[in-house]
């Protein structure tokens, strides 16, 4: 069974940093591209970042470019999102999601972890 | 960036109703469109990929159609478990965009 489990969320002050993690199991993690997608409270879904299976290709949404860094460790079946210079509008539930390139869709999602940016 | 516009934003319907949600892209995305269902406090769930292909395990009352810039998600006979928010999502050249969502409420 495919499982994605996020962790690392919490309360941080504006300008601070937070590192999110996503542990994967039930599939060959090193064969899949992965993404982070976020959802502000009461709002819709926003794609945040993409990383290819080998980490050779990385993309970011304009809203986080230069502040967030996506990475992965295929040996540990883990995906990461380092978030810095955090702002109040970064407050959201952050989901890791597996990308199915063949089907151009996010086929599995974690349960999400809440990051709250507030003074 | 490609913008995705869903309509309506909210839909009130009864069990057994046929429901249609529309998603329009600001430019052609061929068939690279997916639909997701999200219930409160839960992660989104993939329903439809490549505009019209049903994800494994998803009930056949869900169907998708369209190409180019206009796409639809249809629920042929609304069931109690279907009251949720639905999102479309496009993919184009390493750019991903979601629609703003359509909340299906009990009438």
pLDDT digit string, tens, across residues A83-111: 999 999 999 999 999 999 888 899 999 99
* Closest CB to A110 among B43, B55, B99: B43
Q: Rounded to an integer, what distance in angstroms lies between the CA atom of residue A53 and that of residue B5?
A: 31
Query: Is B103 an 8 Å CB contact of chain A?
Result: no
Give B-chain residues touching A56 at CB under 8 angstroms: none
* Test mutation, A44, A56, A101, chain B, max B CBs within 10 A: A44
DSSP states along chain A: --EEEEE--EEE-TT--EEEEEEEESS-GGGSEEEEEEE-TTS-EEEEEEE-TTS--EEE-TTTTTTEEEEEEGGGTEEEEEE-S--GGG-EEEEEEEEETTTTEEEEE---EEEEE--
B14-63 pLDDT, tens digit each? 999 999 999 999 999 878 899 999 999 999 999 999 999 999 999 999 99
List the Cα angle A82/A83/A89 in 5-degree steps: 155
B49-68 pLDDT, tens digit each? 999 999 999 999 999 999 99
Q: Rounded to an integer, what distance in angstroms lies between the CA atom of residue A80 and that of residue A65?
A: 15
Does A111 sit within 8 Å of B43, measured CB to CB? yes
A54-63 pLDDT, tens digit each? 999 999 999 9
Query: Is B107 an 8 Å CB contact of chain A?
Result: no
């Amino acid at each position: 069974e495919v499982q994605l489990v996020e962790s690392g969320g919490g309360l941080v002050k504006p300008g601070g940093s937070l590192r999110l993690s996503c542990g994967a199991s039930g599939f060959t993690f090193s064969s899949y591209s992965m993404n982070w997608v976020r959802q502000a409270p009461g709002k819709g879904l926003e794609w945040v970042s993409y990383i290819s299976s080998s980490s050779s290709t990385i993309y970011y949404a304009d809203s986080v470019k230069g502040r967030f860094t996506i990475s992965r460790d295929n040996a540990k079946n883990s995906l990461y999102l380092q978030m810095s210079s955090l702002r109040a509008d970064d407050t959201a539930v952050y989901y890791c999601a597996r990308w199915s390139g063949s089907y151009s869709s996010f086929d599995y999602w974690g349960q999400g972890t809440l990051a709250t940016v507030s003074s | 960036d490609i913008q995705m516009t869903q309509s309506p934003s909210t839909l009130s319907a009864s069990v057994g109703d046929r429901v249609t949600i529309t998603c329009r892209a600001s430019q052609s995305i061929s068939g690279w469109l997916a639909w997701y269902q999200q219930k409160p406090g839960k992660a989104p769930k993939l329903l439809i990929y490549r505009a019209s292909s049903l994800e494994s395990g998803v009930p056949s009352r869900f169907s998708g159609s369209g190409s180019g810039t206009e796409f639809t998600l249809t629920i042929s006979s609304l069931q109690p478990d279907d009251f949720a928010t639905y999102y479309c999502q496009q993919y184009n050249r390493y750019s991903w965009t979601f629609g703003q969502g359509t909340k299906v409420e009990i009438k």
